[in-house]
Structure 1
Amino acid sequence: MARGPNGPEPAAPGLSAEQLAWRRFRAEGVNVRAWAIERGFHPGLVYSVLRGERKCVRGQSHQVAVALGLKPSAS
């Protein structure tokens, strides 16, 4: 998934970061489930993050958000 040079891509007007991530998956022809498994994440958790159902403050949901480019890494 693409990231901007300084972390997550800037949001397009009217689109949330999650919506941008969905668009990147579609544009790149990437299957969300395959992406999740390839990186060691549970697909259901990735879908929850993409739907905005998780706060992604800590733990694996935060790691998913970082991998998707929705949040900057802690370090």
Structure 2
Amino acid sequence: MPNTSISEQARQRAREELERRGQTVKSFALQNDLNPSTVYAVLRGQSQCRRGEAHRAAVLLGIKDGVIEE
């Protein structure tokens, strides 16, 4: 069941931005030290993006405001 905390419009904008840059989801994930499966789950709305790698992916994709602490 898809998560509704991040809107479909925000996820769609993130996919369009990746496409505009000519970047695949996998290359974005690897560039940012993320698991590609996590990024796909975030873009499909299958993750709540509350903490951990999913939170980091959502912030880096620009679909969620947040802080990434190293």
**Structure 2 residue corresponding to 1:16, chosen from 4, 9, 29:** 9
Gaps of at least 5 residues in structure 2 are 1-7
CA RMSD of aligned residues (A): 1.4
Q: Which structure has the highest helix share of the two? A: 2
Q: TM-score, normalised by structure 2?
A: 0.79
Matched, 1:60 2:53: yes
| Fraction of identical pairs, as percent | 36
Query: Which consecutive aligned stretches of 4+ in structure 1 deviate over 2 angstroms post-superposition?
Result: none
Which AA in structure 1 matches 2:33? G
Secondary structure of the 1:29 match is coil
Whole-angstrom CA distance in 2 between matches of 1:54 and 1:16: 16
- TM-score, normalised to structure 1, is 0.74
